[in-house]
A = this chain, B = another copy of it.
Amino acid sequence: MNTGNFTYPIQEYIDKVEELMRQKSDGHHPEINSALDHLLSSGGKRIRPTITLLTGKMLGGSIEKLIILSAAIELLHTATLVHDDLIDGALLRRGIATLNAQWSPAATVLTGDYIFAKAASLAAETESSELIKIFSNTLATIVNGEITQLFANRGVVNREEYYRRIYAKTASLFELSAMAAAMLSPVSKETILSFKQFGYDIGMAFQIIDDILDFTGEQTTIGKPVASDLRQGIITLPAIYYFENSKDHSILEAFANGNYPLESEMENLIHLIKNSDSISSALSEAKSFVIHAREIFADQPDCIEKTALENLTNYIVDRNF
């Protein structure tokens, strides 16, 4: 099974999304143009536009508006990444130098703002006020999640907080990608809400898998040190499972007291987590989200978009395993 094959029904539209993103984000200033070009070239898998285009095409939405929506969502995502890199002081993303590594904070803040403006402007081109409200509220959710994380205590094992965090960080935008596609399609309010749930489910699964890969992946593949969250005292699902079944919470206490554990202690803990049942428990949880997501479109008539969406859900849990 080639689980990576999910863009074939909409590849030509993905190309148009890329084109629209470039065209709309074209600044008047040459410096910003070259920065944006660089940013948009390192775009990754365009998984959010894929969700929007497959969902909307399956549901009979206008392709033209779906392309606009996809470009708007992907620009919104890009803008949040630009500001994130500044906040984290990240110098590399997907192996490519961030804007932050090359520019002053001022230029990075403004470039992110510029992309936000262009994203909002594109969202308005869908001519749906309801959609624009949800679009803006999703940005508020993402940013609020980041603010919460900024002020959060370290070393805290809390499932509810974890689910809220990954919703804000990832699932909210997946939810928007699927739900807004349904909103641009001739379907009932009930179907729109079903696809909201679909986006939520695959978004939650996607982030849980990311959090597993943070432990199991190779540093060269994930582009950052193994267990980078844990090293900062951020407790993701694999670590939550581990600590729920372990009596030794000394590292958590260290974080809670504002200390950073010794490197040797951290290496030991990472080894224990990787070799415990925690990884497979977290993976099962991600798979449950995906199974639930698949049930949502199971009753749609068979079509190539439906098959591609199935492949996409497989890809989400199978990537890098």
Contact = CB atoms under 8 A, between A and B. Distances in A.
Contact of A110 (B106, B118, B146): B146
Interface string A112-128: 11101110110111111
Contacts of A86: 105-106, 109
Nearest to A121: B136
A307 to B, nearest CB: 34
A239 to B, nearest CB: 23
Nearest to A30: B151
Contact of A148 (B29, B125, B126): B29
A250 to B, nearest CB: 29
Instruction: Quickly give the copy total for this chain.
Output: 2
A144 B107 contact: no
Nearest to A127: B129
A298 interface: no
B129 A117 contact: no
Contacts of A133: 121, 124-125
A256 interface: no
Contacts of A121: 133, 136-137, 140
Contact of A87 (B32, B109, B114, B139): B109
Contacts of A105: 86-87, 105
Given A117-B136, A136-B121, A137-B121, A147 B107 contact: yes
Interface in A194-221: none
Given A136-B117, A139-B120, A144 B83 contact: no
A120 B126 CA distance: 15
A110 B105 CA distance: 13
A31 B152 CA distance: 11
A150 interface: yes
Contacts of A111: 147
Contacts of A144: 27-29, 32, 114
Given A29-B144, A123-B132, A129-B129, 6 more contacts: A27-B147, A87-B110, A114-B144, A117-B139, A124-B129, A124-B135
